[in-house]
Amino acid sequence: MEELKKSLTDVSVMVSTKMDEFQQRLLAAQERSPSLEQTPLTREFEAFKSSVLFCLKNLQGQMEILFKVQEEQEMRSRRKCLLLHGINETKDENPGTIANMLSVLLKCPNISEASFSRCHRMGIRRDGKPRPVLIKLREHCDKDKIWLAKTELKGTGITLSEFLTKTRHNLFMAARRRFGVSKCWTRNGHIFVIDANGERRRVNSIKDVDAAPASTPPSTTDTKAASPNLKSRNRKITKN
């Protein structure tokens, strides 16, 4: 969908550029021969240009709508998913060990292997760094229990994040750079910030981020965050 959106944007830019070039040539010809100013060709070109640009604008608007719908559906499919970061990889790890660890660290005794419908590492291992663990809960209430108890992980070196789409992940990173890590968070895939006036805002686009007053200068350093577009060819450690 993103590639299709980019292709349409590229076509729009190309057509607009060519139209402008042709119009400049036509204006130059009119300056040399003023009688050309009211010719049918001039009027037809203006009408054709307006029609083409109007159609392209409509197509871009429809593409934006389709993109948002597709992105919402993708995020909805991840509503029971969470990512665990900072867990060392071992040969004997399995969903049971992950569940037991979470149960102890988060003080959630009801969380067990049976609570998971999926549990596996994400991405390709590089530089000896542990890959994030994707867990998908069977029940949304269990996901909420784990998410609300994530403060218990403070000081353990383990962090928890939602499994955002690439678009929302990039938006979240932009918000953190503008407002600071401590003033940005996600909830059920939605991104919230606290602006310079102390107002809580939900941001849905880069325009929303740029429009909100920020008290924190842009930062080039972000804390670790999971990449949401890792491929499914990962080493699984669970039963389907």
Q: Kindly give the residue spans of alpha helices, DSSP state H, lying in 106-226.
A: 140-148, 166-179, 206-211
Cα separation, 178 vs 98, in Å, equals 34
- Is it true that domain 81-162 has CATH number 3.30.70.1820? yes
Question: Which residues 6+ apart lie within 8 Å of 11 measured at CB?
Answer: 56
CA–CA distances in Å: residue 219 to residues 71, 177, 181, 222, 223? 27, 5, 10, 7, 11
119: closest CA among 131, 104, 107, 105?
A: 131
Local structure of 224: helix, strand or coil: coil
83: closest CA among 163, 188, 138, 10?
A: 163
For the chain, domain boundaries:
2-77, 81-162
Cα separation, 19 vs 48, in Å, equals 10
Local structure of 204: helix, strand or coil: coil
pTM of the full predicted structure? 0.68
Local structure of 194: helix, strand or coil: strand
Q: What is the pLDDT along the chain (240 residues), one digit of tens a residue?
A: 566 667 767 777 777 787 777 777 777 776 776 665 556 767 777 777 788 888 888 887 888 888 888 888 999 999 999 999 999 988 888 999 999 999 999 998 889 999 999 999 998 887 778 999 999 999 999 999 999 999 999 999 999 999 999 999 999 999 999 999 999 999 999 999 999 999 999 999 999 999 988 765 544 444 444 444 444 334 444 443
Local structure of 192: helix, strand or coil: strand
DSSP secondary structure code for residue 154 in this structure: T
Cα separation, 135 vs 103, in Å, equals 14
CA–CA distances in Å: residue 113 to residues 51, 81, 156, 184? 60, 15, 21, 31
Cα separation, 166 vs 125, in Å, equals 20
The C-alpha torsion from 11 through 17 and 22 to 28, rounded to 10°, is 180
